[in-house]
A and B are shown apart, each in its own frame.
Chain A
């Protein structure tokens, strides 16, 4: 007896995407907003469904596909991220003109790809899900057809993405060559049985590289700033929170359920990667003057923090990973939502456009400040709780130096976050009229604000959730 209804979310999202696509074709131009509402409602419904049977799980197709609390956790993450971004982009999508509804459907397909990635327990399915997501993002990041930056971003993303997915594939092929199967459980069994082969290690590291591109870990991070700056802001936001989280989800699942069989101790390797990512991301973010680009570098640094959880690979570390990925959604989307609003007002996301915002739009300014500080890990905001988990895990695993680097750098990062706050609070703006926000954007802002503060002041509930999610990998 297989619980096919547990596949409901994927199916629902796919159908929703097709439906929205159809809407775009059928509805007249003015009715294209309907696509937005439809997407919102649909996503909300799916999200509710997933949350309702969070704890249910099943294994499908001889282990090829697997629904468990881990999967559900990330499904929730993706769906809520998508929901928030659909909300925040209500004004922004005006720039997409005729192609608005298709934009919604691409977002949905990307979401579907991510859900498949986390659900998959098999290399092939992982690969297909990943490509589904990535190719949607190629299109989405080039979606502002009149904008030179957007097109350039799309092309750059395509080239690097194709290259790294080829690398990933090559690694997969080598792993397959050593194990003779693509199902995680099978690979694990085969590897633990069979003799040690150098080629396996080669495959592993190439897979690390391929996924490292998705999470933009140093040195696979170079694309991030350009794409983040060029892509439409909602896409950037989605890219930064969801695609990264998906990459981490797959990475964690593979590392924890497959690689333990291999003799290579990959923790120090990842530790160095994490340290480099944190350092370079933060340092390079310091001199940025474009807020989107600055957020891109900061997101590199954040990836480094999340990676720390994987390095630690113990309960606290993994809980930190999930916790951080989740709060990162709210904090980062909040930041990007305000950025998008400013961009719609001023036409660009340069720091000057933010100056004096606190007078023209007190609430968004406050939200941006708080979200950025949460990213910096200042209590009592969500980021602090997440970092606490991560670095407790790291220290427990004996990576004291990593904890030092991470915390010092996160304090240095306060500098560039506060620069934005400074511009907003003591800068002077050319125009004085108040920034008007549409209702959905305000909703998104309020949600982000509330979540960021609540998760920081009272992390209990979410940590319980993560507890359930990591129980698969670590007994007790």
Chain B
């Protein structure tokens, strides 16, 4: 019998995958995508919780909507940032961006 915990576990799994992506990818865009994965995981949580705990309210869905909106904004700004830094460095490789350290 599938319960809320399974949905949460799925969300956790997606979250973990996203985290790993943030660590492991060199391409800034790929890192951004991994972050999107994490946000989706959160959304899965919200919607599932909403469905299981209070099917007659839409609080979780509301939260999910806000998350989607914010994520969209984040992505657009993020991509713009990546493009502007690409214009300077001709690269989107995060390992190259260490002018400032120590």
Contacts and interface: CB of A to CB of B under 8 A. Distances in A.
A152 B45 contact: no
Given A162-B35, A169-B42, A176-B60, A155 B74 contact: no
Interface string A128-153: 10010001001100100100110111
Given A173-B42, A174-B45, A163 B63 contact: no
Interface residues of A, number: 39
Contacts of B53: 177, 180
Nearest to A139: B77
A26 B77 CA distance: 24
Contacts of A225: 100
Contact of B73 (A135, A148, A173, A177): A135
Contact of B39 (A142, A166, A177): A166
A230 B38 contact: no
A155 B98 CA distance: 11
Given A131-B74, A181-B59, A230-B100, A155 B28 contact: yes
Contact of A131 (B15, B70, B99, B101): B70
A180 B54 contact: yes
Interface in B26-41: 28, 31-32, 35, 38-39, 41
Nearest to A176: B49
Given A163-B19, A166-B38, A173-B63, 19 more contacts: A127-B67, A131-B70, A135-B70, A135-B73, A135-B77, A139-B77, A142-B85, A159-B35, A162-B35, A162-B78, A163-B35, A166-B15, A169-B39, A169-B42, A169-B67, A170-B15, A170-B41, A173-B11, A182-B63
Interface of B: 4, 8, 11, 15, 18-19, 22, 28, 31-32, 35, 38-39, 41-42, 45-46, 49, 53-54, 59-60, 62-63, 66-67, 70, 73-74, 77-78, 81-82, 84-85, 88-89, 94, 97, 99-101
Interface of A: 123-124, 127-128, 131, 135, 138-139, 142, 145, 148-149, 151-156, 158-159, 162-163, 166, 169-170, 172-174, 176-177, 180-182, 199, 225-226, 229-230, 293
